Structure 1
Amino acid sequence: MAEQDQSLSAKRQIEAEARDWLMAVYAGKADQAGFHAWLSASSAHARAYRQLEQAWRDLPLSEALDVEIRRKVGARQRWFVPAALAASLLLCLGLGVAWKASTTGNEAGLAYASEIGKLRTVNLPDGSTVALGADSAMAANFSKTARAITLDHGRAYFDIAHDAARPLTVTAGNASLHVLGTAFEVWKGPSGVRLSVTRGRVAVGVNAAPAYVASLGAGEQIVIHEDGSLTKIAAFAEKDLLAWRQGRLVYRDAALADVVADMNRYRALPVKILDPKAGALRVTAAFRADQSEQVLAGLAASQPIRLEKSQGGVILRAKN
């Protein structure tokens, strides 16, 4: 009897941990290395997580990992918080309660996430479309007078429907991007936030400053660093930039830290760079997104770095 009680207690503990991880993943707050270490520690962990994720998908307002909630909110509650929604849903899952949200509000809070190694296409209520890169997440908030999207992590290609009465603001890190109707990619990684415009114009703001600091047209690109500094506006190759939509990753003189961050969005076990010197190395490469193991081996042979396998993934260091 005591053994049965211990077994049940262990099972409940694993289920509780799985709920915590699922909430963190879809709120964009998960420590990826810790998450993958937990998954690989036990087959019971992986099984509990898969079962909970399937239950998440089966919720009435969840379709293919896209979560939608509509509700009335006051002016001071405009921003939708993914973590709050995730907590509510997971509480319902933990209690075994069927839950359904109201769809009568005049504002819509929307949260979307893609899985590791998988892309998502999102159709927004205003007719805009968003291609989410692998392991990416965003939240959106639409009202009668404004449209707002926050890219929490990863990358996304936006094709925004024109609506002069409702300008759109995309926030990523310390950057805010202002558009009416245009197409552009936003990438968020170790180097900061990169904006690349393929159609129309996008105005760039930094750190919530009232004035725009740059305006980009089609074929132009800029990077906004964490300290608020900007690179010079430069041209880019659209075919290379958007190759990820066809399963390829292309880099020209990119920081190794940025390349590895993108690789990790396709890997079950992540690569972790422990040496800033190694992360700053410049890399030019093109490869299929599922070829990261071969690419890492090639980098170890051609760059002053070494790889160390660990239970939680791969550790990358600079050679002494």
Structure 2
Amino acid sequence: MTGSSAPSDRITTQEARHWIARLASGDITEPEMAAYRRWVADVHHHAVFQHELKLWRSLDRIGDHLAPRLPVVRQSVMRRRRRCCVLAASGLAAAACLAAFLVGPDLWMRLHADHWTGHEIRAFTLADGTRTVLDADAAVAVHYGVRTRTIELLRGRAWFDVRHDPTRPFRVEAAGSVTEDIGTAFEIDPHADGKIETTVESGMVRVSTREGGQSITLTAGQRAVWQGTGQITRQGDVAVDTVASWRDGQLMLTAVPVHMAVSTIARYRSGMTLVVDHLDDLPPVTALVDVRRPDDALGALAAGTHLRLYHLPGNIVLVRRSG
């Protein structure tokens, strides 16, 4: 990408996110709809819009909240079908059609998961006595056999206090990484870039790749990251009382990028949160977040980081730079 095209592409991306937000809000006006049709008729605009839709779909940001908040169109079935077909023919993902497109990943996850969360943190005990806590927007599939116990982390992060059984190894699979219990409590935290971080609260675990090869043994306070390429690297040690602090509703963000802080808080909101500006050049933030009051936390973050929040119908919040 050349330097001259970068600002134009950034503006187009912001415009695409704006239209996604307006279509998802459920109260887009006819003049706005006409403006959208003109905008998306441009081949480049259409390509960027489709890219942003796929991005939000892959991150599972809005599929779970969009469909229930769409307005009920009190028209005949034929009129609804006719409207959806007309919009589809014009390349438009209007509210109802957009919901059907985006809810797919969430539906797939629920069909495969044994336990999942929405915007709450949930604690439960597995059949073998292992205590588990799932963070908001997380899901696991449980595969227990006669000689094995495997947990597949489908989404989000989780903490396990394992009931040790040397005759039935306990493993957590996340992406291409495998964490095996050697009698312990530990946290698995998938990162947005595909890396998988394992942190031990007590006892010992072995972190390896599914394909075999490299493995690392960790003890209390130690952590390692699976890089996505099969490489596993040790990270700096942490205090054991900070491991999975989100279980108690308190989350410490230390020198994290602003966009990451926003996405972290958004996980605990009951409504959709859309970032419609470029935030990468803002200074990193350090904050203690009460995940039980995510809207207050988002407001505090905005006040201290030159952001402006726009509250839309359906509990949707748009995040933009101020000034």
TM, length-normalised to structure 1: 0.62
Structure 1 residues 297 and 282: alpha-carbon distance in aligned structure 2, compared to 1, 3 A threshold:
same
Report the CA distance between 1:307 and its aligned residue: 3.8
User: In the alignment, residue 179 of structure 1 is paired with which amino acid?
Assistant: D
Q: Which moved more, 1:154-163 or 1:275-284?
A: 275-284
Contact 1:170 1:176 in 2 (8 A): yes
Structure 1 distance, partners of 2:284, 2:223, is 19
Deviations 1:32-51 (A, max 9, x none): 3133232222379xxxxxxx
Q: Decide which of 271, 274, 278 is 2:273's aligned counterpart.
A: 271
User: Equivalences for 1:114-133 in 2 at 5 Å?
Assistant: 114-117=117-120, 119-133=121-135
User: In the alignment, residue 156 of structure 1 is paired with which amino acid?
Assistant: A
Structure 1 distance, partners of 2:59, 2:69, is 16
Structure 1 distance, partners of 2:259, 2:225, is 15
Q: Which has the higher strand share?
A: 1
Structure 1 residues 212 and 256: alpha-carbon distance in aligned structure 2, compared to 1, 3 A threshold:
farther
Deviations 1:89-110 (A, max 9, x none): xxxxxxxxxxxxxxxxxxxxx7
Structure 1 residues 289 and 114: alpha-carbon distance in aligned structure 2, compared to 1, 3 A threshold:
same
Structure 1 residues 30 and 296: alpha-carbon distance in aligned structure 2, compared to 1, 3 A threshold:
closer
| % same residue | 27
User: Equivalences for 1:44-63 in 2 at 5 Å?
Assistant: none
- Number of positions where the alignment pairs a residue of Structure 1 with one of Structure 2: 232
Rg larger for: 2
Specify the alignment match of 1:150 in structure 2. Answer: 152
Structure 1 residues 182 and 125: alpha-carbon distance in aligned structure 2, compared to 1, 3 A threshold:
same
SS of equivalent residue, structure 2 residue 118: coil
User: In the alignment, residue 189 of structure 2 is paired with which amino acid?
Assistant: W
Deviations 1:241-291 (A, max 9, x none): 333222222222234444333323321113233556539853211121133
Structure 1 residues 146 and 311: alpha-carbon distance in aligned structure 2, compared to 1, 3 A threshold:
same
The yes-or-no answer on 1:136 pairing with 2:138 is yes
Structure 1 residues 238 and 261: alpha-carbon distance in aligned structure 2, compared to 1, 3 A threshold:
farther
Gaps of at least 5 residues in structure 2 are 1-56, 74-106
Specify the alignment match of 1:197 in structure 2. Answer: 200
Deviations 1:213-249 (A, max 9, x none): 3221111122334455555421113333333222222
Structure 1 residues 257 and 85: alpha-carbon distance in aligned structure 2, compared to 1, 3 A threshold:
closer
Specify the alignment match of 1:38 in structure 2. Answer: 67
SS of equivalent residue, structure 2 residue 243: helix
Report the CA distance between 1:174 and its aligned residue: 2.7
Report the CA distance between 1:158 and its aligned residue: 0.3
Q: Which moved more, 1:237-246 or 1:168-177?
A: 237-246
User: In the alignment, residue 112 of structure 1 is paired with which amino acid?
Assistant: H
User: Equivalences for 1:71-220 in 2 at 5 Å?
Assistant: 83=108, 86=111, 111-117=114-120, 119-191=121-193, 192-206=195-209, 208-220=210-222
Structure 1 distance, partners of 2:61, 2:123, is 23
Structure 1 distance, partners of 2:72, 2:166, is 52
Structure 1 distance, partners of 2:282, 2:218, is 27
Specify the alignment match of 2:295 in structure 1. Answer: 293
Structure 1 distance, partners of 2:123, 2:110, is 21
Structure 1 residues 218 and 111: alpha-carbon distance in aligned structure 2, compared to 1, 3 A threshold:
same
Structure 1 residues 35 and 133: alpha-carbon distance in aligned structure 2, compared to 1, 3 A threshold:
closer
Structure 1 distance, partners of 2:216, 2:64, is 38
User: In the alignment, residue 203 of structure 1 is paired with which amino acid?
Assistant: R
User: In the alignment, residue 315 of structure 1 is paired with which amino acid?
Assistant: L
Structure 1 residues 214 and 251: alpha-carbon distance in aligned structure 2, compared to 1, 3 A threshold:
same
Structure 1 residues 40 and 181: alpha-carbon distance in aligned structure 2, compared to 1, 3 A threshold:
same
SS of equivalent residue, structure 1 residue 314: strand
Structure 1 residues 272 and 213: alpha-carbon distance in aligned structure 2, compared to 1, 3 A threshold:
farther
Q: Decide which of 279, 284, 288 is 1:282's aligned counterpart.
A: 284
SS of equivalent residue, structure 1 residue 152: strand
User: In the alignment, residue 187 of structure 1 is paired with which amino acid?
Assistant: D
Contact 2:184 2:204 in 1 (8 A): yes
The yes-or-no answer on 1:236 pairing with 2:261 is no
